[in-house]
Chains A and B, each alone.
Chain A
């Protein structure tokens, strides 16, 4: 009996404190952001197909595009890059000021904001989130972006709604640094963090009530292998021009459809509302009857995606991976990589694999990034003869059957791994295989499930050559630091270098660091131009092409304004709305 009473009084106390908390929060007027766009109607569920499942729902550990996209709908950042204008705009921070020549940023947070679980958002959450991103032990891929000249930035709370960032040095991209860094609830994650369990938090198996964010949507249901359902976050902090709360949609459903064709069929049949990326041949067939089906399709031109050949130059355990280690002498030889680059027919790849809706590239900056592309960079003409001369000068020879032999007279044979779910990249691999045969290289193409492939590249490093793609999240070079710095978490060809393995990697390190701490745009451009030059000369990755961004939406989707920055169609998901079936026209 006593136990019951005690229990009851606890419940009463808890209720009283909750009410008091709510009353306190209600006293702070909410400072909403106003979104520009066509005012829409509330309600409805929007269905989008995703090519793979998110690997985690934890913003600290998101690397791949799918994961970022899902997290992007559930979380929010302090300052956001508008995907359409490519400029920054206030998000959780309503304004900011810069002082000391671009070194210090003071951000004013919106007042009265709440996480999706109803708890208030204050400067403490900002301080907490940055302490997570910066914690070396957590190995967050975002950490590299917050190191300026190898020194971590520091954050200081001025009051409950003001924070000051000391960047230690003037920072090139300025407030762009805050884009994509989700602000996480300290009340939820503080304890697991102290117990060292943060890496296990917010995985894909987490219960919906255990995740809270400041994004437009919150987790409702996750069915592995099938779908992820998000529901409207009633505490979201943006309104439309009329003052109606955003997001308009009641639910956002991600279906896991690994195969692009299946995605296209679903879109064509009207089972999904948006088509995120279509392949060129599918785009062609969709275009034919788009009008009749009332679907809007757009070709946005080359984006920020690049497809390349990655050679395994990692420091491998020679006893465990002897077969791969034996081939690394070839991959580390610049002339070998140059020969491969000269022999592959990029134009044929663009034409046959992408129906001409792609652009051949020789360097790391795609033509879609007009602001940063080094236009003075020339590239050698494709030539099998030149490639053969290069191999010969590196000590390679050919036997009577025309097979290429390395300086130790071993036949040159290797496998190219490619994601089995990408018909285009599989076709590119088949073309590369045929092109390299002309050099006498015996190449096998091995299709593999996408996640198994990423796991081989980032974790086990059990691969020889991979044909894969990377998509930049921004036009600015700084988010690429992860890839280019020799210590970067995604320095793909040689992960985890203690110090730069080659002089040119050391130079790239220097240049990238220095563009990162220069605030003069012209000087930054000059530095990044040089990075492009070094990359073109040393070919750490054999760049092949940049596909055009081809997207589509049912005409009933309002505010459909695709952009070349990821997520192409969902960047304004809070503003998307559904018109009654049959109404709506393509622009």
Chain B
């Protein structure tokens, strides 16, 4: 019972991360690209309930950060004016799923106040908003690449396991070849030959597809194993004896046997491909400025000063760890439930 509740909690958390990534504009108080050039590397805003004169406020509020006069690199709270945090506020416009215009945000404060939940980056952009928008790119990369890998790997695995002989030999040797490919260098090469005029988002999608297509080998091997054992089972033999076509047997009798494995594998592959995106962007080969992704948010940590001075720049890493652990937990639970030992 406890396990079941815990599973539900984990699933709910995972779902909320994905919902936030689908409509980041609603959850993010600011646009990801809005620069606030007076506030580079501002720390997270402090939430207060008691103001400077000792009065208690029911509604939490924040103060504005202003640069310290004595140091170029530091901020203090301007306590002259509190900015209460409101929910469902009107702010900068955004698009839901790229189609519908909206301007309502989950929370925010009246300008000129700023509510920097996770602080700001080197150009004064809200780190929390960028992290949510970054999730859109990174999760999309993970899901798309997983989809591509499983689609290609699944079909080839089915064919390989079902027909056996020469087809099996050919596909399995190809699998070995792909497993041995250094995909990172291959991506560098692909990135280098792309012309300059391609939009960075298109480049990114292209790279994600390449990552996904390169990752088909493992699912193919797994599906092949299931098919090998399934095709000898009595209901398959019976179907064949009754004159069912190969396509019919594959579609209705064998494919359903692989669903559980594929689902479990997908839960493992998503974080793996998210990490691939993070690696690419960290190295400056993912989406370009100003579009955020978890990889290029972390890329700022390559700068020595950022690494040693601004702890809030690590928060995207914490988000990643959380996401990975959740996915792994879900996949472990699925494995337990479906008793898949092949993984």
Residue B288 CB within 8 A of the other chain: yes
Q: Are B73 and A323 in contact (CB under 8 A)?
A: no
Give residues 420-450 of A contacting B (CB, 8 Å): 420, 423, 426-427, 429-431, 433-434, 437, 444-447
Q: Are A427 and B123 in contact (CB under 8 A)?
A: yes
Q: Are A351 and B37 in contact (CB under 8 A)?
A: yes
Mark each residue of chain A from 401 to 424: 1 if its CB lies under 8 Å from any CB of chain B, else 0.
000000000000001010010010
A352 to B123, CA, bound (A): 7
Contacts of B196 in A (CB 8 A): 415, 417, 446, 462-464
Q: Are A420 and B289 in contact (CB under 8 A)?
A: no
A167 to B197, CA, bound (A): 48
- Having A282-B304, A285-B309, A434-B35, one finds 6 other A-B pairs with CB under 8 Å, namely A352-B40, A426-B289, A431-B35, A433-B289, A444-B199, A447-B288
Mark each residue of chain A from 355 to 399: 1 if its CB lies under 8 Å from any CB of chain B, else 0.
110000000000000000000000000000000000000000000
Q: Are A285 and B197 in contact (CB under 8 A)?
A: no
Give residues 280-330 of A contacting B (CB, 8 Å): 281-282, 284-285, 323
Contacts of A483 in B (CB 8 A): none
A266 to B157, CA, bound (A): 50
Residue A348 CB within 8 A of the other chain: yes
- Which one of A415, A427, A444 contacts B122 once the chains associate, using CB atoms below 8 Å? A427
Complex: chain B residue closest to A434, CB-CB = B35
Min CB distance B208 to A, Å, is 18
The 6 nearest A-B residue pairs measured at CB:
A261-B304, A281-B305, A430-B289, A348-B37, A445-B289, A323-B197
Residue A505 CB within 8 A of the other chain: no
A502 to B303, CA, bound (A): 43
Contacts of B35 in A (CB 8 A): 431, 434
Contacts of B123 in A (CB 8 A): 352, 427, 430-431, 434
Complex: chain B residue closest to A356, CB-CB = B72
Contacts of B303 in A (CB 8 A): 261, 281, 423
Complex: chain B residue closest to A351, CB-CB = B37
Give residues 246-293 of A contacting B (CB, 8 Å): 259, 261, 264-265, 281-282, 284-285
Residue A480 CB within 8 A of the other chain: no
What would 8 A/B residue contacts be, using CB atoms closer than 8 Å?
A: A259-B302, A265-B304, A284-B73, A426-B289, A434-B33, A434-B123, A446-B200, A446-B288
Mark each residue of chain A from 507 to 548: 1 if its CB lies under 8 Å from any CB of chain B, else 0.
000000000000000000000000000000000000000000
Complex: chain B residue closest to A418, CB-CB = B289
Residue A345 CB within 8 A of the other chain: yes
Complex: chain B residue closest to A268, CB-CB = B304
Contacts of A445 in B (CB 8 A): 288-289
Complex: chain A residue closest to B308, CB-CB = A285
A345 to B123, CA, bound (A): 13
Min CB distance A289 to B, Å, is 11
SS class of chain A's interface: helix, strand, loop or mixed? helix
A288 to B259, CA, bound (A): 59
Residue among B35, B290, B305, B308 with max Cβ neighbours from chain A (10 Å): B305
A437 to B33, CA, bound (A): 11
Mark each residue of chain A from 321 to 358: 1 if its CB lies under 8 Å from any CB of chain B, else 0.
00100000000000000000000010010011001100
Complex: chain A residue closest to B201, CB-CB = A444
Contacts of A420 in B (CB 8 A): 284
Contacts of A345 in B (CB 8 A): 37
Give residues 301-326 of B contacting A (CB, 8 Å): 302-305, 308-309
A220 to B122, CA, bound (A): 43
Q: Are B284 and A447 in contact (CB under 8 A)?
A: yes
Contacts of B284 in A (CB 8 A): 420, 447
Q: Are A352 and B37 in contact (CB under 8 A)?
A: yes
Interface residues on A, range: 20 to 34
Q: Are A285 and B304 in contact (CB under 8 A)?
A: yes
Contacts of B73 in A (CB 8 A): 284, 355
Mark each residue of chain B from 271 to 292: 1 if its CB lies under 8 Å from any CB of chain A, else 0.
0000000000000100011100
Residue B195 CB within 8 A of the other chain: yes
A351 to B309, CA, bound (A): 18
Min CB distance B188 to A, Å, is 10
Q: Are A355 and B72 in contact (CB under 8 A)?
A: yes
Contacts of A351 in B (CB 8 A): 37
Q: Are B288 and A444 in contact (CB under 8 A)?
A: yes
Q: Are A415 and B37 in contact (CB under 8 A)?
A: no
Min CB distance B247 to A, Å, is 45
Give residues 37-78 of B contacting A (CB, 8 Å): 37, 40, 72-73
Q: Are A264 and B304 in contact (CB under 8 A)?
A: yes
Known contacts A261-B303, A430-B290; A352/B195 CB under 8 A: no
A471 to B40, CA, bound (A): 28
Contacts of B305 in A (CB 8 A): 261, 281-282, 284-285
A176 to B33, CA, bound (A): 49
Contacts of A265 in B (CB 8 A): 304
Mark each residue of chain B from 253 to 284: 1 if its CB lies under 8 Å from any CB of chain A, else 0.
00000000000000000000000000000001
Contacts of A423 in B (CB 8 A): 303
Min CB distance B66 to A, Å, is 15
A433 to B33, CA, bound (A): 10
Contacts of B37 in A (CB 8 A): 345, 348, 351-352, 431
Complex: chain A residue closest to B306, CB-CB = A281
Min CB distance B186 to A, Å, is 18
Min CB distance A462 to B, Å, is 7
- Which one of A261, A433, A462 contacts B302 once the chains associate, using CB atoms below 8 Å? A261
Min CB distance A335 to B, Å, is 24
Min CB distance A383 to B, Å, is 17
A370 to B40, CA, bound (A): 32
A445 to B33, CA, bound (A): 14
A444 to B200, CA, bound (A): 7
Give residues 19-44 of A contacting B (CB, 8 Å): none
Min CB distance A253 to B, Å, is 22
A285 to B290, CA, bound (A): 27
Residue among B40, B73, B308 with max Cβ neighbours from chain A (10 Å): B40
A58 to B40, CA, bound (A): 44
Complex: chain B residue closest to A263, CB-CB = B304
A261 to B303, CA, bound (A): 6
- Which one of A282, A429, A464 contacts B289 once the chains associate, using CB atoms below 8 Å? A429
Min CB distance B130 to A, Å, is 13
Give residues 11-26 of B contacting A (CB, 8 Å): none
Min CB distance A122 to B, Å, is 49
Min CB distance A345 to B, Å, is 7
Give residues 440-486 of A contacting B (CB, 8 Å): 444-447, 462-464
A264 to B33, CA, bound (A): 30
Complex: chain B residue closest to A447, CB-CB = B284
Contacts of A352 in B (CB 8 A): 37, 40, 122-123
A124 to B65, CA, bound (A): 70
A351 to B290, CA, bound (A): 19
A175 to B260, CA, bound (A): 83
A255 to B86, CA, bound (A): 55
